Structure 1
């Protein structure tokens, strides 16, 4: 039986990965921070262990002996300058720590038990490539070098930290998902469902993105363990859509009026600047920050041809199917009210 150690197991991609690993017959140890809600990974069958990415001693204690894979999914997705210091510790220092512990663990296992060395699968992000005018591929330069876009900045440097351990002998593969949609989500795109159902959506941004299915992304992680090439990046894209299309489909699934136009980019960016200035006085994170404004008003689309070819990545799920899966799970968990149309669909 293969044994996996998973960081970020309490997140929604982590839940999709744990579910598939256990269905494939893996034993799974899922790491969580103190105070995290561990109900979902526990229900899915994972063994739980408390540790912190920023405390390397706790990682040494948490990572079990005789493991085959470390799936590093945990990340700090903050997009406000007030959280930048912690984000650097979590994303960059934390990735360096888990990569070092994985390398040392795999080397010790290979020496003591004649066991084949394990592999680290790193969940990076399309954000590590920064902003491009054209569709992004693995050959595109990673342009995330502006610290004002701190999340993007740290994702590139997290990859660099892991590559330093690859040079010391670690076997690692990088996955770069785009916008992930699917079940078990309560804090990402699920927030859009909540806002639209409560008629609280302030507007629709003019950006565009690639949307990928959480289940397919999780499967690509497992396939990367078996089939990925050491040190390689694999972009996981999917269905390209504008935010107007994306929000419109959510509205339709909730039986709400479909928005017909976007808010101009300059208006969103101007609001973000003034909100950020006020946050310097109030000390509170604003609803819209300059980083968020940049993300939702730009075009971020990519090609997953390499992942499809080498990992068997399934990029073809339609956007409606991804969104319906997310909606139906939220309704099942009684986090979202079922619209009449949804009740009729299931009847």
Structure 2
């Protein structure tokens, strides 16, 4: 069986991808930065390789003899002071992984990009032929995801690119699970006025493995899911947790003013605010994603939002990030 390398293997998507790749019988290596990362990777049946995206020598060692690289590592920072480090990771790191992959003669580079490569500046439904506007954005994450994807497309390596939307599912410690925990604790300050497309992390991992197993290369796929307003998402979270939630969304203008105020305070405290201007922009946007290409070619499917949230909440309880469910009254 072929040997493959996964970057970002201890992250939310990376862990699911490791499981899917190990299940195929492939020999899986995973980049790891710490003993804790080594243990997490080994527990999933992969071989940890010590190194990070800044270490060109470690990347050359990790890619030697590898048939495919699955590059999922990324910095999702949305606060201005973290922009420089984010650029080093998302753009510089991708460039170094690509350089190592070319030197090793890797046959396929599988890259996890994002709908953010298109940018919030695009208001139409996203399809693979919609022009990307990430380079024009004031948001560093959008600029870096666009730039990294361009590096992959222009690398000369056979590539497969995936552009997920909002990712939900078991294993989420830092993304939408934070919102779920705020609802559970009764500390949700308000509901943003935008909407999203909620993708199942497990389906994203399966789609990547299916694409790698097929002969087509130099392709890209958008991976969306059920479309819902953030108000509807939070209402469903509240229903499943048995917690009260706001009945109305905040106006976009008020949300942005609130975020700017918190950002000004954060510059004095040097601590990231609970809501950044970037996050306010993202959650005021109405994201619409057409996943029909992935559905047709890769068997990708969306998971209905109630079931996806139920699985996520169950995992959060199992992992101790939410308290155990109270027994129902007789």
TM-score (structure 2 length as normaliser): 0.94
Structure 1 residue 44, shift from structure 2 partner: 1.4
Retained in 1: the 8 A contact 2:195–2:286?
A: yes
Match of 2:99 in 1: 100
What residue is the counterpart of 1:321 in the other structure? 307
| Cα contact 2:53–2:93 (8 A) shared by 1 | yes
What is the correspondence of 1:132-281 to structure 2 with a 5 Å cutoff? 132-166=122-156, 170-227=157-214, 229-281=216-268
**Residues 330-339 or 132-141, more deviating:** 330-339
Provide closer, same or farther for how the CA distance between residues 228 and 160 of structure 1 changes in structure 2, counting only shifts above 3 A.
farther
1:34: how far off? 3.8
Q: Is the 8 A contact 2:78 2:278 kept in 1?
A: yes
Equivalence for 1:331: 317
Q: How many residues align?
A: 327
Shift of 1:38: 4.5
The Cα shift of 1:63 comes to 2.4
Aligned equivalents of 1:199, 1:27: Cα separation in 2: 45
Single out whichever of 35-44 and 182-191 deviates more from structure 2: 35-44
> 1:59 & 1:34 partners in 2: Cα distance?
15
Instruction: Indicate how the Cα distance of structure 1 residues 194 and 74 shifts in structure 2: closer, same or farther if over 3 A, else same.
Output: same
- State the Cα distance separating 1:10 from its structure 2 match: 0.4
Segments of structure 1 that go 5 or more residues without pairing to the other structure are: 107-116
Shift of 1:214: 0.8
**Secondary structure of 2:69 counterpart:** strand
The Cα of 1:213 is off from its aligned counterpart by: 0.6
Structure 2: gaps (5+ residues): none
- Compare 44-53 and 74-83 and name the one that shifted more: 44-53
Which stretch has the larger CA shift, 331-340 or 6-15? 331-340
Q: Are 2:30 and 1:40 aligned?
A: no
Q: After TM superposition, give the deviation of residue 196 of structure 1 in Å.
A: 1.1
Query: Is the 8 Å Cα contact of residues 228 and 310 (structure 1) preserved in structure 2?
Result: no
Q: Post-superposition shift, 1:198?
A: 1.0
| C-alpha contact (below 8 Å) 1:20/1:218 kept by paired residues | yes
Q: CA deviation at 1:46?
A: 1.5
1:28 matched to 2:28: yes
Structure 1 residues 88 and 48: CA distance shift in structure 2, 3 A: same
Q: Distance in 1 between matches of 2:55 and 2:320?
A: 36
Q: Per-residue displacement from partner, 1:74-95 (whole Å, max 9, x unpaired)?
A: 0000001100100000000111
Question: Hey, what does 1:124 align to over in structure 2?
Answer: 113
Q: What is the alpha-carbon distance in structure 1 between the residues aligned to residue 263 and residue 137 of structure 2?
A: 16
Conserved in 2, the CA contact under 8 Å of 1:251 and 1:258?
yes
Counterparts of 1:212 and 1:319, CA distance in 2: 9
Q: Contact conserved, 2:5 with 2:62, CA < 8 A, in 1?
A: no
Q: Distance in 2 between matches of 1:135 and 1:20?
A: 30
Q: RMSD between aligned alpha carbons?
A: 1.6
Q: d(CA) in 1 for partners of 2:323 and 2:141?
A: 33
* Pairwise CA distance, 1:228: 6.6
Distance (Å, rounded) in 2 between the aligned partners of 1:27 and 1:325:
29
Q: Deviations over 1:253-311 (max 9, x none)?
A: 11112431111111110011222222333322211111111001111111011111122
Q: Give the drift of 1:36.
A: 5.7
Q: Is 1:298 the counterpart of 2:314 in the alignment?
A: no
Question: Structure 2 CA distance, aligned partners of 1:150 and 1:124?
Answer: 14
* Counterparts of 2:46 and 2:126, CA distance in 1: 35
